[in-house]
Amino acid sequence: MTGDAPGAVISIRNVVKTFPDQQGRPVRVLDGVTLDVLAGETLIIMGGSGCGKSTLLNCLIGELVPDEGRILYRTRDCDEPRDITGLDETGMNELRKRFGILFQSGALFNSMTVAENVALPLAEHSYVDPAIIDIVVTMKLQQVRMLPHRDKMPAQLSGGQKKRAGLARATALDPEILFYDEPSAGLDPVTSAAIDELIMDLSRKLHVTSVVITHEMDSAFRIADRMVMLDRGRVLRIGPRSDFERLRDADPADLSSPDDRLIHQFLTGETTGPLTDADGLSEYEKQIIAG
């Protein structure tokens, strides 16, 4: 996949990222990653701990700069694709207004109320009247069913409520793209399913493109349009959810490809298979790759 895919809002081409190990030797965390994120889709990026998905997310939002490769954005306000690997901080900050991020913990400011957290991007990056900001905050909290909690402090919220408040803040500037970092992490199954429904609801209503980093398979299969499987920094497979459903439900004895057997083990959670048999990374390397 070397050309640009029609309808891609993000094109990742041959991205490589390395970090030094304890002896100073380079550990290749991302190993020539190439994929596209299509407009309006929900793309799941998954893989086990240490597969490189957190590092990939940090490259996509400009927190890390790849050692090699390109990451091209095609937002509505640009005539030509922008390669963020060559952007300075000013250019990157302008682009960040076009996407929102839901961090794993919610990342709310503990000294601010829920409403003040949601208002912050509007106050920092727009020039609208405070009364208009308050209306927008009300709308965003209503969308995530958090309006009754607008005056609470983050310490008064449950884990699921913090995620909802974080999502309201991520959508405050009406982004074209939403990034989700482990949105189901730390939640019980019922709350996790409710967050998944909210992700799907916002995708439909706001017409945003969603990129979800996760290793929670129940969640992934609920919300995905397409899925990407990473292993040790390389892309094993990209395809529609139905492709991965067939792999998940297959008899492993019928799978001839080593990659297919590895993906099957990951999807089913079996304790024996290629993932565990060939696990040769040190704990330090796993921590580096996990970000």
CA 144 to chain centre: 19
- Which is more confidently placed, 279 or 96? 96
Task: Give the residue carrying structure tokens 């990026």.
Answer: 45
Q: What's the confidence (pLDDT) of residue 291?
A: 46
8-98+223-286: which CATH topology? Rossmann fold (3.40.50)
Please tell me the pTM assigned to this model. 0.88
pLDDT bucket at 187, cuts 50 / 70 / 90: confident
Sheet holding 26-38, edge to edge: 26-38, 8-20, 68-73, 82-83
Q: What's the confidence (pLDDT) of residue 1?
A: 42
The answer for residues whose C-beta is within 8 angstroms of residue 257's C-beta and 6 or more apart is none
Q: What's the confidence (pLDDT) of residue 278?
A: 56
Q: Can you count the helices (H) and strands (E) in the chain? A: 11, 10
Burial of 94 (0-12, 13-18, 19+ CB in 10 A): middle
